[in-house]
Amino acid sequence: MKPVPFDDAETYEPEDEWRRVSMAGSDQFSFEWFEKPPGHSSPMHDHENEQVCLCLQGELTVATEDDSVTLQQYDSVLLESDEPHRVENTGNEFAVGLDVFAPGRSFDFWTEREE
């Protein structure tokens, strides 16, 4: 067993007030808790990992090149491997979510990505 207390977990802030916390995971899957301020959007991006985005609090709009969906509390969406997408907080309060990636990944995706 490998517990990861939230307060001890690796944390990364790709942009001001957009915080990501790496939860328990492995090479096969990883969990990242995140919070976004109102109006914040990640850049359009893609990655080899499949991704499930679960909205825990607030409102998140997930957009691909062809479609978009707005997630309310406990709604989720599956993004396929290499599917370009962005996640935006379209609500008026901080949004909190959980991303699940398969295979697992590290914060290197954000620290080493090219703009």
For residue 2, the one-letter residue type is K
Q: Is residue 3 in some structural domain?
A: no
Write down the pLDDT at residue 5: 96
Does residue 35 lie in a domain region? yes
Question: Looking at the whole model, is its pTM more than 0.75?
Answer: yes
Per-residue pLDDT of 73-102, as tens digits, reads 999 999 999 999 999 999 999 999 999 999
Whether 97 is covered by a domain: the verdict is: yes
Per the listing, tokens 């985005």 go with 53
Distance CA 83, CA 85 (A): 6
For residue 15, being part of any structural domain is answered with no
82 C-beta neighbours (distance < 10 Å), count: 10
Report the CATH number at residue 70: 2.60.120.10
Q: Establish if 10 belongs to a structural domain.
A: no
Question: Is there a domain that residue 13 lies in?
Answer: no
Total domains present in the chain: 1
Query: pLDDT, tens digit, for every residue of 9-38?
Result: 999 988 889 999 999 999 999 999 999 999
- Inside any domain, residue 6: no
Question: Within a domain: residue 88?
Answer: yes
Q: Which domain holds residue 76?
A: 29-110
